[in-house]
Amino acid sequence: MLPAFEFPELDFKSNPKPMSLSDLEGCDLALYVVNGTDKTDVLSAMPHGNVLKSMREHMEEDAILDAVLPNRHHTRVLVASADPNQAAIKLLEEARKWVAAAVRYRYTRLDINLSAFDAKGGARVAEALLSAVAIAVAPTPSFKRKAPTAPALRSVRLHGCNFELDVDEILATAEGTGLARYLAMAPANAITPETFRAHVEELANEAGWRYTFVNLEQLQQMNCGAFEAVAKGAPDIDSGILHLTYTPERNGDEGLLALVGKGLCMDTGGYNLKTGGSMLGMHMDMTGGAVALGTLLALTRMQVPFRVDCWLALTENHISPAAYRNNDVITAADGTTIEIIDTDAEGRMVLADTLLLAGGEQPALIIDYATLTGACVRALGTRMSGIFTNEEDLLGALTAHGNNCGERVWGFPLHEDYEQNIKSDIADVKQCAPGVSTDHMDAAAFLKRFVPESVSWLHMDLSAAEHKGGLGHVGTNVTGFGVRYTVSGLAESGVLRKLLSNS
């Protein structure tokens, strides 16, 4: 059984004054971040600056200076350089590198001096650093006989801060990203539909969410044949759709937000069986559900003033005498008939009925997350994810938002003529196109059929769910991508918040 995810308590404090000699004498570990665009000799002005400057002269420009000062406390000092105007993804990657150096020494407190920056630049650097600290100390699952040592860092002091930070949002986003990553990393024998629900139920009790589970028998009665087609091949009878609701204490003017996640806890491909190495990592086909849940947790921690529904499609895709087959014709909950082409395209099947249930609540905006297609990985690689929306005039703004927050996305079109790829001679629609195709676009065209025309919709194909060596401020291969994008997009003036406000 996988232990419950427990995000550590972190203490952040800020001081508008630069780090003084007395501050430096009293701390174990200090990080000075130098403004890479300012050629002023800032090191000389720092406490023990001449010592640091002489060491810095013998280092490469982008290296981290690591030195122990000749003071009574033998304070360890790290000096790094940052361009506050660089791309968010690059700034987050640098922050991860600096924090990793701090974590390595197992000090409990880190003092950071940011006096080299103006308010705008300092806020960007500080946000990246605090995000990197929070995700660095978030737990990851381990099944080693000897458990790995957890990071000791629990306290951060910012010096020279002539700006304000939304620390609550930073911590909430890190906790949500950490939860998504934690669940996605867990093996399939630790996270089944049943154990996933157990984790969520415990979290729901703590967070105050309304918790409703629609089991397979109930889904059959609701004619959710698309979901049932996949689930009936699984040995786990606990398949179903989990519905969670966060209700704010104070309602704003925004409409309802619905988060939908693909929760395939194991995907064998069904009768279109995955072969060789393609089966490895398929326990992470529930990452979309983990991201939806992590986003719900982050928004709850922030106490956003709008209602949030979260719909998790929990099942597995297996081979059995009851499993669905190629050329079967399946009927979804709205009566749409679907010709099955590939049993390994199961994600869009379970999402079809889940989107119908979510849409029935009349949300202002639906966002769905899924590790849906290999085609999106082939198109973009694993450094960014693909997005589709029925609000195509906002596609540029949605893409720009990804660049600004450090979780980059690429927007694909949803032109009507692409629907010809999934036109069926025997049913209303094909599940996917036979052979090699633009499957990420075909999948989005398929899903769009199950979203009410009056509802704004964003579909995220999580090609960046896993990236070797980490991505941005996240240092593990499993990234939790999508939580940060969504939470920052739902901030007061964010592009996603505007969709809720226009309801």
Task: Please report, for the chain, the start and end positions of each structural domain, with discontinuous segments joined by +.
Answer: 11-164, 171-501
Q: How far apart are CA 210 and CA 201, in angstroms?
A: 10
- The 3-state DSSP class for residue 71 equals coil
Q: How confident is the model at residue 63 (pLDDT cuts 50, 70, 90)?
A: low
Q: How confident is the model at residue 55 (pLDDT cuts 50, 70, 90)?
A: low
Mean pLDDT calculated for residue range 52-68:
70
Closest to 365 (Cα-Cα) out of 486, 207, 481, 484: 486
What is the model's pLDDT at position 41?
62
CA distances from 303 to 172, 176, 324 (A): 10, 14, 42
Mean pLDDT calculated for residue range 407-428:
96
- The 3-state DSSP class for residue 461 equals strand
Helix/strand/coil percent split, the chain, to 5: 35, 20, 45
What is the model's pLDDT at position 501?
87
Q: How confident is the model at residue 172 (pLDDT cuts 50, 70, 90)?
A: very high
Closest to 382 (Cα-Cα) out of 284, 240, 314, 450: 284
What is the model's pLDDT at position 56?
67
Query: What is the bridge-based pairing of β-strands 257-267 and 365-370?
Result: parallel
Closest to 299 (Cα-Cα) out of 94, 463, 496: 496
348 a catalytic residue: yes
pLDDT over 90 percentage in the chain: 82
325 a catalytic residue: no
What is the model's pLDDT at position 66?
83
DSSP per-residue letters across 296-348:
HHHHHHTT-SS-EEEEEEEEEE--STTS--TT-EEE-TTS-EEE-S-TT--HH
- Is 480 within 8 Å of 178 (Cβ atoms)? yes
- Is 283 within 8 Å of 188 (Cβ atoms)? yes
Q: How confident is the model at residue 133 (pLDDT cuts 50, 70, 90)?
A: very high
Per-residue pLDDT for 385 more than 80? Answer: yes
Closest to 314 (Cα-Cα) out of 481, 191, 225, 207: 191
pLDDT tens figures, 435-494? 888 999 999 999 999 999 999 999 999 999 999 999 999 999 999 999 999 999 999 889
pLDDT tens figures, 95-118? 999 999 999 999 999 999 999 899
Radius of gyration from C-alpha coordinates of the chain: 24
What is the model's pLDDT at position 439?
97
* Identified catalytic residue from 76, 181, 348, 484: 348
Q: How confident is the model at residue 40 (pLDDT cuts 50, 70, 90)?
A: low
Closest to 343 (Cα-Cα) out of 361, 325, 329: 325
pLDDT over 70 percentage in the chain: 97
Mean pLDDT calculated for residue range 76-100:
94
pLDDT tens figures, 277-311? 899 999 999 999 999 999 999 999 999 999 999 99
CA distances from 487 to 64, 295, 431, 484, 496 (A): 31, 7, 31, 5, 9
- The 3-state DSSP class for residue 257 equals strand
Q: How confident is the model at residue 393 (pLDDT cuts 50, 70, 90)?
A: very high
| 217 burial via Cβ count (<10 Å: 0-12, 13-18, 19+) | exposed
Mean pLDDT score across all residues of the chain: 93
Lowest mean pLDDT across 18-32, 39-53, 213-227, 312-326: 39-53
What is the model's pLDDT at position 252?
84
* DSSP strands (E only) in 114-209: 155-159
Starting at the edge strand that comes first in sequence, how are the strands of the sheet with 109-113 ordered?
A: 11-15, 155-159, 109-113, 29-35, 76-82, 65-68
Mean pLDDT calculated for residue range 409-434:
96
Lowest mean pLDDT across 71-75, 205-209, 354-358: 71-75
Mean pLDDT calculated for residue range 412-438:
95
Lowest mean pLDDT across 54-63, 246-255, 369-378, 399-408: 54-63
| The amino acid at 316 | E
CATH class, range 11-164? alpha beta
CATH class, range 171-501? alpha beta
Mean pLDDT calculated for residue range 188-204:
96
Of residues 64 and 139, more confidently modeled: 139
* Identified catalytic residue from 109, 274, 383, 449: 274
